[in-house]
Amino acid sequence: MPDSDKQQEAEIRALVYDFFAEECDIESSKLTDATNIIEELEGDSLMLLSLLEIVRKKYGLKIELKTLGKHLMRKPAATIGQVVDLTLKIVRHGDDIVNLDV
Amino acid sequence: MATTSLTWTSDSCRRLLSCGIDSERVARFRRMARDRSRFMPFVFTSSERSRCRRLPDPAVGLCASFCVKEALFKALGSPYNFTDCEFLPGRNLGKGSFALSPRFAADHPGVMPCVKILAPVKGQCTAIVYLLDAA
């Protein structure tokens, strides 16, 4: 993996962890990739949409909610690690995310 | 946009296809109502936000709007762009309705959505969306 990709992945991982730490009022160090957002953090769709809005603004993306919804119906994101993967795909592929193999 | 506030009843002449329900805490929308940077333009349209800001409690309007959009998603069983569905506050929350974009109508032919918005109880808004057979 090129260094720029690794850097971007680390940046997105930090963004996702910081987001859930603040939203759920929990120390970031207590979160892991296996943390279940709904069962352990009482997260919901509004939380995920808030994160997506931050990502859209930060990276200047135009991805549509309908596209994201289609992708999530095929591949749900239940854990922090899965949300990190999802966010990376959104940043790298935008609306083409729906055409990716899942 | 086409507006609807029709409420389905058991003696309705139209066939009920499906329904969706969503409930959210108003408190979740307080920061968004206060802080412009927290506004979600791919969920709410700017005119929707303007309408909600004119309400005595803008957070209730945003909460009701989100409930309607989520309930519609659940009733449809498939994703759509939330900005294709705009919440239109009424004189009170229960009189609220929503407007659908032409794109929504084109994507979902043959369905007529209608909504019932329940006034906040213990800081929680609830919306029920019914999809009726438009034929």
Residue range A42-97, pLDDT digits in tens:
988 899 999 999 999 999 988 889 988 888 888 889 999 999 999 999 999 887 87
Task: Count contacts between A and B (CB, < 8 Å).
Answer: 35
Nearest Cβ partner of A49 from B40, B80, B83? B40
CATH of the domain at A21: 1.10.1200.10
Best of B37, B81, B101 to disrupt the A interface (most A CBs within 10 Å) is B81
CATH of the domain at B42: 3.90.470.20
Residue A101 located in a structural domain: no
Q: Please answer whether residues B81 and A68 qualify as being in contact, where contact means their C-beta atoms are separated by less than 8 angstroms.
A: no
Residue type, B134: A
What ipTM does this complex have? 0.83
Residue A12 located in a structural domain: yes
Per-residue pLDDT of chain B (135 residues; tens, 9 = 90+): 555 545 555 556 788 999 999 999 999 999 888 887 777 888 999 899 888 888 899 999 999 999 999 999 999 999 999 999 998 877 777 777 888 999 998 999 888 888 888 878 889 999 999 898 887
- Per the structure, how many domains does chain A have? 1
- Name every residue whose Cβ is closer than 8 Å to that of residue B59 and which is 6 or more positions away in sequence: B26, B27, B29, B30, B32, B33
- Per the structure, how many domains does chain B have? 1
Domain of residue A8, residue span = 3-96
Residue A102 located in a structural domain: no
The whole-angstrom distance between residue A52's C-alpha and the CA centroid of its chain comes to: 7
Residue A60 located in a structural domain: yes
Domain of residue B75, residue span = 2-133
